[in-house]
Amino acid sequence: MKNYSDKPDLSGMTLEEIEAFIAHLGKEKYRARQIMKWIHQSGVSSFDEMTDLSKVFRKEIEAMARTTSIPIEEIQESRDGTKKVLFRLEDNNFIESVLIREKNHWTQCVSTQAGCAMACSFCLTGRYGLKRNLTPAEIVGQITALRHNTPEGDNIKSIVMMGMGEPLANYENTLKAIKIITSDIGPGVSKRKITVSTCGITPMIRRLGNDASVNLAVSLNAPDDERRTALMPVNRKYPLRELIDACREYPMPRRRMITFEYILIDGINDSEDDARMLVSLLKGVHCKLNLIPFNEFPESDFKRPSDKKIRAFQNILVKNHYTTMVRPSKGNDILAACGQLSGRAHG
């Protein structure tokens, strides 16, 4: 990645890191709280706007540090109200974030990488490969940008790290972003309202369970290793039994469950026998399931199953006492649904 500035980026620092940074300038610790609030709660993009800091300090810190704001390049709105937001990064890479309307609030789907290296065969993002990891400032910056530049901003209450990229392949930056997002002087999002989605990088699932008390969603998509490996190459390295063991041991807070995402693809993984195999695989895991009918996109050979097959699959899981939702595809008409993000300009 090209360095656009050698200055430390305060937008991607935790409170403790900002405190340590300004201590070298001989400044009081409480100034760090002021700076962090300006960046994340007021959404300012320059030190000149931090008016409760002296002009001398503003000039001093501007010479020593920087902040990152990510410009919104384009917003597309779906017929169902879902919004897809295209951001241009400093190196002219693009990433996308999605706003999803819920009953009483909005959920923001955040990217953690520009592109993705996981190469899942059902995912458009993976077709373009990995450009690079996002910095903590770029991950958090998606939230800050939408909070301060969209009508939905004040009502964005939930964050799902399910956008472009594999969060656990950018682990340290994702973890730091979570610490900033959940800080009461950062965006202030409750840990109960943050979900990290992974294709199943088993060692990092174990680390996440120790490092952050957030919700976990696992992209499963097949009940056996042969088909899962065909759909998701990561399964060669971290096969199903190892993955399920890590999920079984994941320290979910009380009354919360791991979510397994299962993309239903016609003729591939959607039979009633597949549902029964899934029941057997997940035995003993405190979990719920989101069934996602495949979201078709250009150049894909996969198809969405019929509603009848989807209901039959769901019924088997429900009869075996698994909370199972069929997740409606939102934003399909603007390629904003699960597996459709590409980080490409449309114009």
Catalytically active residues, by annotation: 96, 338
Neighbours of 92 (CB within 10 A): 7
Q: What is the DSSP letter of 134?
A: P
Tell me the C-alpha distance between 288 and 260, whole Å: 6
Q: How many other C-beta atoms are found inside a 10 Å radius of the C-beta of residue 117?
A: 14
Pairing of strands 113-115, 106-109: unpaired
- The CA distance from 14 to 36, in Å, is 8
Tokens of 18: 């900002």
Q: Contact at 8 Å (CB) between 296 and 264?
A: no
Cα 30 versus chain centre, distance: 31
d(CA 201, CA 95): 22
Cα separation of 284 and 245, whole Å? 10
CB 183 within 8 A of CB 212: no
